[in-house]
Chain A
């Protein structure tokens, strides 16, 4: 059975360990991003997720609270979907024990939901190899991020979030003189990858995919040792990890919580640290900020990105096309021309 999740900060290995196939919802070919025939301001991505929930009654869905539209979209779901949907409370803050405990508690609560959905609660011996497989996949993709094109990494990340597996990267691309660009913003489903083609056609080269489910989503490093072996990995802040637990869920939760790097966090300094390092290392010359209509979280960052990274930022709103819109093409071409 498929269990879809709406944020890469929900550990897919936890879903898989309960016997389900985790599916990053943004990777779904069935995600329909037409604008909702509702009042103005509804995010096409959130509306698409709700349509998918209604269209796939046999699947499970883990929605997340990281944005208002998805949070309230959950409230709008029909009662009939109540047994197969779950709202995961992703904490916005990250510097306090309270936020960490909230994340841990939500992961445990998700586990209980998955059991109600028909899954089996995993013991350590089941969780460990699954975590290891996912970690290996992320590890391969993290390594690929340093060599393959941003476009290729986008495809690889999407495949990972759909299957849990890492396909091979590609050989480093030869230098072509194309303008190195970063793409940051909301989720970019395959149906909108036409945008990537527009960037390439206009003489740009994507060297950093900072969209929601892009390279950042590969950050969690889960080291769940086999039963009986000590857990001695310190946290990213150097603090000792909490003591071993019966099922490893706390370690998994801490790994994700410590890696969480997202626009909705308060403060969102982690996102900027992450971007700053990569923008410099990959010699990015311009940023394309991709966002859905109604997505305040990303839209509000345009000027902060300009100020923090000292680079020009092109704001692109998702429309109802597959990313190939003439309007987008013209704007991207002009942007890249200015950067040459």
Chain B
């Protein structure tokens, strides 16, 4: 059997026709991928390489139709919550309520990439005083002001405190422009002092019980706002069911990650895995469909694993990837140059952990929120990366820097030192702008140097 080969956008259109001739039935949001270029201006798709499976087609179509889904939901009388920064917590609460859906306006940070900056969002942010010295998430400001991407939410919620300064500053600018925000406090997670009451968080870290209680109180406050929006209180019963359903998605993702990252060859490409992981944070505005999309990817992965059908050679260098990339093409480039992703920390690892179901739901969510790798010490994050590198036999680590992101100034060096000390692996910091194309020669040589170093280590 021929191993699956990644397809260009044009090749996908041909493949789509072929699949349809073979009887493929798609969900309502389905269709050829190239229509997103024609209808939405998602020009970047022309420069990406995609997995050839129908499961991947469904994933991409699901991702690229989110704004339409939000508008349809609003038109049907639903209420929309714009959740900012916490990456995975408040959406679980919002989806527990009837006729409420949550989405991350932060996600607009990928719009300039997808539209190859043809959207003008960065220029809009520039005019609002947020220039290129800030993280690409500044595109969110432009998206709010133009209203041409996602609908204006009925409620905006944002965590503050132990969050990135650039995001916090941009959100503050948004509020100054007249978008009211319900802020909630996320303390910097710390280790419990000696003798201090503490509890274990999803993922195994410890936190003082007092911090958990503080976050729980804040989430209860946000829950009241959400209940007010829905016209229906967010009871423990509703929230417990919301947690259970969120965990269904998280279980699927955990299984998918373990299969893909743990297999000798890559049964799915890195780009599709990045998108799949991102579904965890707010279910791409449809929780039930997210589960179906992930189940499809998992079934495809299982089939390929059984048949030893890899999209990349098993000889590819196993790379652990840290941070999401502003340009999706970066994930393709790693594979083009001989690497494969065998594990990732896209800053959302807490959204992949199961939310405890044996605790009161708000307490469980507070513990999960505190497990966020970005609210605690970078050393904790590095330790988790090291454990995952061991689990998935990583041969190198890439810390992709996000241009202008305040956390990137320090974290790369801390992670590098810890990884080198514990595992001796080569580590590369790699700044990925919204469009990598002009930097390809530099980026290519840096990546190749990393991969060659990793290959040399195999011979020792």
Contact = CB atoms under 8 A, between A and B. Distances in A.
B258 interface: no
A51 to B, nearest CB: 14
A98 interface: yes
Contacts of A329: none
B134 interface: yes
A76 B173 contact: no
Contacts of A306: 129
Contact of A297 (B165, B378, B409, B413): B165
Interface in B350-396: 377-379
B181 A109 contact: no
B184 interface: yes
Given A41-B406, A65-B161, A92-B161, A72 B185 contact: no
A266 interface: yes
Contacts of B158: 266
Given A75-B377, A109-B193, A296 B166 contact: yes
A38 B408 CA distance: 11
Contacts of A41: 404, 406, 408-409
A304 interface: yes
B263 interface: no
B406 A294 contact: yes
A39 B409 contact: yes
Interface string B116-136: 000000000000111001100
A303 B177 CA distance: 11
B409 A42 contact: yes
How many of chain B's residues touch chain A, expressed as a range? 35 or more
Interface residues of A, number: 47
A101 interface: yes
A129 interface: no
Contacts of B171: 266
Interface stretch (B14-22, B214-222, B300-308, B443-451): B214-222
A122 B188 CA distance: 27
A266 B172 contact: yes
B129 A99 contact: no
Contacts of B160: 92-93, 266
Interface in A13-69: 38-43, 65, 67-69
A266 B408 CA distance: 22
A147 interface: no
A299 B409 contact: no
A56 to B, nearest CB: 21
B335 to A, nearest CB: 26
Contacts of B377: 74-75
Interface in A297-315: 297, 299-304, 306-308
B439 interface: no
A102 B185 contact: yes
A39 B183 contact: no
Interface in B131-168: 133-134, 158, 160-162, 164-166, 168
Given A75-B377, A96-B185, A98-B218, A91 B409 contact: no
Contacts of A89: 161-162, 187-188, 190
A67 B165 contact: yes
Contact of A73 (B185, B188, B410): B410
A112 interface: yes
Contacts of A97: 217
Given A99-B185, A112-B193, A72 B410 contact: yes
Interface in B30-85: none
B168 A92 contact: yes
Contacts of B134: 296, 299-300
Contacts of B210: 105
B244 interface: no
A75 B414 contact: yes
A91 B218 CA distance: 13
Given A38-B409, A102-B187, A72 B169 contact: no
A108 to B, nearest CB: 10
A267 B183 contact: yes
A193 interface: no
B411 interface: yes
Given A65-B162, A264-B168, A300 B410 contact: no
Nearest to B185: A93
A76 B413 CA distance: 8
B429 A39 contact: yes
Given A68-B406, A98-B217, 9 more contacts: A39-B408, A39-B429, A65-B162, A68-B164, A89-B187, A264-B168, A299-B169, A304-B129, A304-B173
Q: What 6 A-B pairs are tightest by C-beta distance, nearest first?
A: A303-B129, A300-B169, A41-B409, A68-B406, A266-B160, A92-B160
5 contacts: A68-B406, A266-B168, A267-B175, A297-B169, A300-B172
